[in-house]
Each structure stands twice: as structure tokens, then as C-alpha cells.
Amino acid sequence: MNDFPAVLLIRVRSEKLKKFFLGPLVSSYRGWLGGFVTEEIRDGNSRSGYSLRTLDGETAVLASRALVSPVSFNKYGVNLDALNVTAAAALRRARADKAAAVVDELGSISLKAPAFMDEVISLFSSGFPALVTVREGASLFLDTVSALKGCVPVELTEERVADADGAARAWLDFHIRMKGVSR
């Protein structure tokens, strides 16, 4: 990648592959990154929901089978405060004192959280570096974010994990140098 865009869009095919890619990347660059990641909540061998974890240590249940909510996603009740409050604040903090923000993952639930979407739009329009994951099936988000000026999509497949990792690390190294942000 010769050009280092503001938004690096990671097109994800599976939760397992995303975790394999994003976990080590976030761990390696922890001091320079803000924002949040989403993770499965497991109950034995089955998934019972999703949590949202900010890169500065806050956690919130994002969606759960046990959560009663007027907003649902598949078989899960959705906690919109996880996005509107926790994730939105994490993105604001990232812009204040980090080299880049992680937004994991944009999808249909995001549209139901107006304060969160306002923060995402503000992030994208500011030109602040953002590493964004979007599931391959979320074509509305893939098409919309990919069309942003200063956005480069990177497809994360099993065959291209090393390429995606190299592109993401080069992108992060560039933005860290440009920001001069210390760990």
C-alpha cells in the first residue's frame, strides 16, 4: 500500500478470522489505539451474545439472548447504550489522544444508535485515522464506507491474512509517525 488513507476498511468474512486478525493487531498497538472491539459472549459451546470492550478497559453487553430490549438483532436483544454511550465516548477519547481509532464492527445495529452514528460520521469527516471492520454481508456499510474519500478497503480472507496484517501494520505505523503520539 503506497497511499495511507484516513480509513482502512477491513472486510471480514467470519468472526473467527476477525478475532485471529484483530486481536494481535490491537494488542501490538494498544498504546496508540483507541475505540472499541466487539467479542462473542460464550456459554459453553454456544454463543449467547456479544460484548463491546473499549481499548481503554470499559466493557458493556452489546447484545444478548437474555436481554429484553425493544431493539433486537436475530435472536439477541440489543443494548443501545453500549453504542450510544460506551462506544461513542471511546471514539471521542481516541480522537483526543491516540494515533488511530478502531471501530469494530459497523453493521445494521449501528443504524439504531443515533449518538453512536453521529460520532462515527464525525470521525470519518474529520480525517482522523480509523481502522473499521465490516462484515462482508453488510453491503450497505461496505458500499457506503468504501465510497468515502480517503478510504481503502482490505479484504480479510484466510488466504490473505498475512497481506491484510501487513497492510494494517504499515497503515498504523504511518499514522503513528504522522501523529507523533507516544505510548
Query: How far is 124 from 146, CA to CA, in rounded Å?
Result: 11
Q: Where are the domains of the chain?
A: 7-38+80-179
Structure confidence at residue 2 (pLDDT):
47
Please give the average per-residue pLDDT across 46-53, as a whole number.
94
Contact (Cβ atoms closer than 8 angstroms) between residue 63 and residue 109: yes
In angstroms, what CA-CA distances link 90 with 59, 62, 84, 102, 137?
11, 14, 10, 9, 26
Query: How far is 168 from 145, CA to CA, in rounded Å?
Result: 17
The structure's pTM equals 0.91
Query: How far is 30 from 40, CA to CA, in rounded Å?
Result: 20
Domain 7-38+80-179 = CATH 2.60.40.10 = no
Amino acid making up residue 158: E
Per-residue HEC secondary structure of 127-161 comes to CCCEEEEEECCCHHHHHHHHCCCCEEEEEECHHHH
pLDDT in tens, 78-123: 999 999 999 999 999 999 999 999 999 888 889 899 999 999 999 9
pLDDT in tens, 32-49: 999 999 999 999 999 999
Q: At 128, list the grid cell.
A: 482522523
Query: How far is 84 from 92, CA to CA, in rounded Å?
Result: 12
* Phi–psi pair at 94, nearest 5 degrees: -60, -45
* pLDDT band at 143; cut points 50, 70, 90: confident
